[in-house]
Amino acid sequence: MRHTTLYIVNGLLLAVSFSIARIYIWFHLVHTYAVYRGLPFISGFLARCPPSAPAAHRLFILNSIWFVKIYC
C-alpha cells in the first residue's frame, strides 16, 4: 500500500496543506502585523506582543514539531 501513487500523492498533499495552513500563516500574520505597525519584517517578531502571545508561541512550536514529523 505504501508504494502506490495514491499514497504518495496523499502524503505530498498533506505536507503541502499543513505547511500552508499551519506554518506559512504564522509568517504571513507577522508580516501583516509588521506592515500595520510600520516595522521591518524581523521587528515584527521582536515587537511587543499582546498578552496572548505566549500561547501563540507555544502553538507555533507544536506546529513546528508536527511539521518536522510529517517531513521526516
Through-space distance between the first and last CA atoms of the chain, rounded to whole angstroms: 19
Higher pLDDT residue, 11 or 70? Answer: 11
Q: What is the structure's pLDDT at 51?
A: 66
**Rounded Cα distance, 54 and 24, in Å:** 19
pLDDT per residue over 14-69, tens digit each? Answer: 888 888 887 788 788 888 888 888 888 777 767 666 666 677 777 777 777 877 88
**Rounded Cα distance, 38 and 18, in Å:** 29
Residue 5's pLDDT band (boundaries 50, 70, 90)? very high
**Three cell numbers, residue 18:** 499543513
CB 43 within 8 A of CB 34: yes
pLDDT (mean) for 3-12: 90
